[in-house]
Amino acid sequence: MAQQNLFVGSLAYATTDDSLKAHFEQIGAVASARVITDRESGRSKGFGFVEMESDDDNQKAVDQLNGKELDGRTINVSLARPKEDRPRSNDGGSFRQRSW
């Protein structure tokens, strides 16, 4: 069975993968921790995902870390929803072409 990811929202822009991992290691062993960044600027988007090695630790992390502070910000921790299969747009971006 695949591990359940945790969604971590309201991250400070200064939070790194390593600091996120270290914060969750107080609960238990962390399989992975990733802060999501903008492709073009490389700046944090303010959220990330953590994968604990045990499902019990997932629930403990939600119970103990949701609403707590990390890098000066109060973070939100919840079980991540499964990624939706969305069709990728191949129109070259979000700009609408003008008809004139």
Q: Is the confidence at residue 50, as pLDDT, over 50?
A: yes
Question: Does the reported pTM lie above 0.85?
Answer: no
Into how many domains does the chain fold? 1
Give the mean pLDDT of the chain.
Answer: 89
pLDDT value of position 83: 75
What does the pLDDT look like over 54-80, one tens digit per residue? 989 999 999 999 999 999 999 999 999
CATH number for the domain that contains residue 27: 3.30.70.330
Q: Residue 85 domain-assigned?
A: no
Domain that holds residue 19: 5-79
- Alpha carbon distances (Å) from 47 to 8, 41, 99: 6, 15, 38
Report the Cα 92 to chain-centroid distance in Å. 27
pLDDT value of position 1: 45
pLDDT level of residue 81 (50, 70, 90 thresholds): confident
